[in-house]
Amino acid sequence: MRAGRWAVAVVCGCVAALPCAGEKHGKSTGPAGPHWVATWAAAMQGPEPTQVQMTEAQLTDVTVRQIVHLTLGGPVLRVQLSNAFGTQPLRVDAVHVAKAKAPGQSAIDAATDHAVMFGGKEAVLIPAGAVYLSDPVALPMEAAGDLAISLHYAEPPSVTTTHVASHATTFLVHGVHTADAELVEPEKVLHWVGLAEVDVTAPAEAGAVVAFGDSITDGTASTTDANNRWPNVLAARLLADKKLRGLAVVNEGIGGNHLLTDRVGEAALKRFDRDVLAISGVRYLVVLEGINDLGALSRRGEATADERAELVGRMEGALQQVIDRAHAHGIAVIGCTITADGGAKSYHPTAEDDAARAAVNAWILTPGHFDGTVDLDKVTRDPADATKLQAGFDSGDHLHPGPAGYKAMGEAIPLELFR
């Protein structure tokens, strides 16, 4: 990382000066042009055997309207469509954007409706395994605004690329209705469909914070359409700070995700380039990942001491890989400790399993790895039992925080880390 730019890390009350992100992603290093920053994003997934799948019938001759909550405003935007998991080219016949009336509703402000072009054309054929950026759209959007993106598939994707748990309502109606002011009797699903990112033009000093993790970042047990995941809380705090309101926050969490193995979504190390490095304007990375790697070991039954030690070592190595790969691209990395899961309905950790979690957390907090750290385990755990979430923050499954827990997590991240 380049010298001369610094962030402040706050760990358990101690303050230390640490090197911050370089300028590679903060300013254009190529020909002069717009500075694009991601204002919203979702991690793309292929078919998930354990998750509800979109069917061919649902995605044939269908308009898909998705309402996304932006974090950074700008005068011009573009959208990124994804066929990342498709095995054949994907044709999208029409795409429109407009200001949404409200989250959880299909109604738009029809006066703001714009057709989205791709190389000057309304339709686009996205190659298998690829993503596709739209042409710029002159639709000024305010920070924390809600954008409706409506796309039409005549034929379903060869393999559907989605984000399986949007925690926001997506609307489906058959026929071409991309410009309709409101969709009539739409089917409602909780998936992002083929939509990977929204960017806005912004001043050169603006940038994006990527929240990278599993279901606790993705927002399991948050309130549908309320945008109260911990990355949303962090985004609102940055927006309220006059010196930091140029930082967007995008959520690249996947429920059930692992650091090391493909379970739900590709492993964190495998998806890192697509979900972190490729994000427009990324300057900071906040990492909260690993509970599912630990939980998978406890779910199999009594693990040996050697198995636990091997897993801990591999997880620490994977986290170091995340740090090193981000640093190579001038991105500052903030590590968060793994929260407690004692009594979890999906996992059944023993005292020895929890000791493995504590060992990984100790490594995260040890200076010399991350550019800054946040002890979210300490923030959310039961003061009387460090193996469990405190009752007021627990969603009820003893693994995922509820809205109050996510609020506490988002508020616990020191803004000094981004100065």
What is the distance between the alpha carbons of residues 249 and 229, in angstroms, rounded to a whole number?
A: 11
Mean of pLDDT values over 249-257: 97
State pLDDT tens for residues 262-289.
Answer: 989 999 999 999 999 999 999 999 999 9
Check pLDDT > 50 for residue 13: no
pLDDT of the residue at 31: 61
Mean of pLDDT values over 225-233: 98
Check pLDDT > 70 for residue 23: no
State pLDDT tens for residues 400-413.
Answer: 999 999 999 999 99
pLDDT of the residue at 351: 92
pLDDT of the residue at 38: 98
Mean of pLDDT values over 162-171: 97
pLDDT of the residue at 14: 36
* Per-residue tokens: 395: 């969603």
Would strands 372-374 and 247-253 be described as parallel, antiparallel, or unpaired? Answer: unpaired
Chain-wide mean pLDDT for the chain? 92
pLDDT of the residue at 419: 87
State pLDDT tens for residues 205-214.
Answer: 999 999 999 9
Give percent above pLDDT 90 in the chain. Answer: 86
What is the distance between the alpha carbons of residues 260 and 98, in angstroms, rounded to a whole number?
A: 39
Residue with the larger pLDDT of the pair 53 and 196: 196
State pLDDT tens for residues 351-366.
Answer: 999 999 999 999 999 9
State pLDDT tens for residues 56-87.
Answer: 999 999 999 999 999 999 999 999 999 999 99
At 210 the three-state DSSP class reads: strand
Picking from 23-32, 171-180, 389-398, which range would have the lowest pLDDT averaged per residue? 23-32
Check pLDDT > 70 for residue 19: no
- Cβ count near 302 (within 10 Å): 10
What is the distance between the alpha carbons of residues 167 and 193, in angstroms, rounded to a whole number?
A: 13
Tally of residues, the chain: 419
Residues 6+ apart with CB under 8 A from 34: 76, 136, 201
Residues 6+ apart with CB under 8 A from 279: 38, 41, 197, 208, 210, 250, 252
Picking from 10-24, 198-212, 254-268, 353-367, which range would have the lowest pLDDT averaged per residue? 10-24
Check pLDDT > 50 for residue 4: no
State pLDDT tens for residues 122-144.
Answer: 999 999 999 999 999 999 999 99
Sheet holding 372-374, edge to edge: 247-253, 207-213, 282-288, 332-336, 372-374
pLDDT of the residue at 287: 98
State pLDDT tens for residues 24-50.
Answer: 444 444 566 899 999 999 999 998 877
What is the distance between the alpha carbons of residues 324 and 336, in angstroms, rounded to a whole number?
A: 16
pLDDT of the residue at 32: 67
pTM of the model: 0.92
